[in-house]
Structures are given as C-alpha cells and as structure tokens.
Amino acid sequence: MKNTTLNDGNLIPQIGFGTYKATREEGIESVKNALQSGYRFLDTAAKYDNEEDVGEGIKQSGIPREEIIVTSKVWRENMSYDNTKTALAESLRKLQLDYLDLYLIHWPANERNYGAGWKNANAEVWRAMEDLQAEGLVKSIGVSNFWPEHLEALLETAKVKPAINQIEFHPGYWQPEVLKFSQDLGITVESWSPFARGRIFGNEVLEKIADKHQKTVSQIALRWIVQHGVIAIPKSTTLERIKENLEVFDFELSDDEMLLINGIPEMGFSGELPNLWPEVLPKN
C-alpha cells in the first residue's frame, strides 16, 4: 500500500475501503475481511446507517486501532455548530471509538436550501470541525461534494484548510475542474463511486486496457484514479474482490491509456449535484 501525505501532515492510504450500503452482518463481515486483507483506511458516514457495524467489524478484525484510518461524515441536516459537535459524539459512540482520523462535511449547504445564509451554514460547521480537531477528537478534517464556489466561500473564514475533498470521480464522470481546483489549493481529492455504479463493467475501452495489462476492469479503474493523484475507496462484500482491489500498485497505465479513459463519454453519473439537493437529476 502507498500513502498520500495530506496538507496537515497526516498520511492516508491511496486505496481505502468503502462501506456504503454495507450494513448489519454483511457490513461487519466485509469490514473485518477488508482489514484482515490489508486495508487500513475505512470510509463510512452517519447517513449510511452502518457506523455500529463498521465499529464491530473493526473490533472483530483484531487489527490495532492505531493502525486504522477511520472516516465519517456529518449529514446535511446537521449544518450548525452545535449539531456538528453532537453528530460527531454520536458517530464515535456508534463506532466505539475515542477519535476519528478524518471527519468530512458530507454535502455543502447551498443557496437553494439555505438562501443567502448558505455560506454561513458551511462556515459554522467548519468552525465546529476546527474545534473538534483542536480538542483531539478528529485528526484531519475535510469536505465532500464541494465545488469551487463552496471551497472559495469556506476559505473566506476557515482557519484550517480542508485536507480532503471527496467527490464523485470515476471513468465517465470525473469532474476535472473540481479536481484541478482542489489540487491547486493543496487539497487531496478522494473518489466516491469509483466503479461508476457498476457501469465500468462491459465498457469496451476499459476491457481492452484490462486485457493488455492482464488485470480486471475494476483494477484498471482504480489505477486510473490513483494516477490522477486521487484516493479511491472501492466497496465490495466479496472476499476475492476485496483482495483484488488492493492489487493496483504493480503496473502503470501509459499516458495514452490515461487519455483514453479520460475521454470515456458520461456514464454511471449518480445524478447528485451539490447545488440541487435534495433532488437529483435523472440517472444515466
């Protein structure tokens, strides 16, 4: 496993383990299997309704807590200073942890839902997160689904720059403008939905490149993400695929292959946009 150094000096693995929709026994087992297979970075969120399962999986894995990077997120219904602090306490209780390694704002407040006060709502959540970091309850703080306008507004009052911006990023929808804007600020980008909601499977471009490298399509997608300097958090509940998704550091995509994948037409887009929630666009 290779690590990325965040702008706060903390290290984070380039491949993590996503837990979205992995709940109850399936969630516990997948987290335990992931940790025992070599993953050291877990991603969950209050909205996923599985923090208790992730915590139990950590416990059952036998892997020391200090070796594991754990992420959770504050949901968009808790966009205030006090609610953010309460939300973190609840996440820690469910996870059976004393601290989080990474805490994110799951979605930004926007004008549609907060009117002229949207900037202040994000700023108040961020102020709470800065305080939680100062108190030692969170090691790194970041955002998710923030576009340039949300980052610019946040940085007007922020004392701490976000370490991470987790965005939808996969072949067929990779938001190059958000990627460049974030990276130019020294903010590490992290990919959610790296397999495009399953749409990468059967894609002719990816299949040809996979055949050439004698790798799977999922490994090609993950390698493409990593070579963009982006962290990936693939999710699987199958032990074989959990292990397979780690095996992306023994080959490299050429510049031409990267460009081919960059140029794949839109596919697998979730339809979720930070300025339109709670509604989403029709999914492709």
pLDDT digits (tens, 9 = 90+) for 68-107: 999 999 999 899 999 999 999 999 999 999 999 999 999 9
Q: How many residues does the chain have?
A: 284
Given 39, 48, 103, 173, which residue is catalytic? Answer: 48
Helix (H, G, I), strand (E, B) or coil at 274: coil
Mean pLDDT of the chain: 96
Nearest one of 158, 160, 136, 123 to 6, comparing CA atoms:
160
Distance (Å, whole) CA 178 – CA 198: 23
Distance (Å, whole) CA 212 – CA 197: 24
- Predicted model pTM: 0.96
Predicted pLDDT at 279: 76
Task: Determine whether 114 is an active site residue.
Answer: no
Q: What domains appear along the chain, each with residue ranges and CATH number?
A: 3-262 (3.20.20.100)
Whether pLDDT at 204 is above 90:
yes
Sequence-distant (≥ 6) Cβ neighbours of residue 195 within 8 angstroms: 170, 201, 218, 221, 234, 268
For 80, the token pair is: 């205030």
pLDDT digits (tens, 9 = 90+) for 174-202: 999 999 999 999 999 999 999 999 999 99
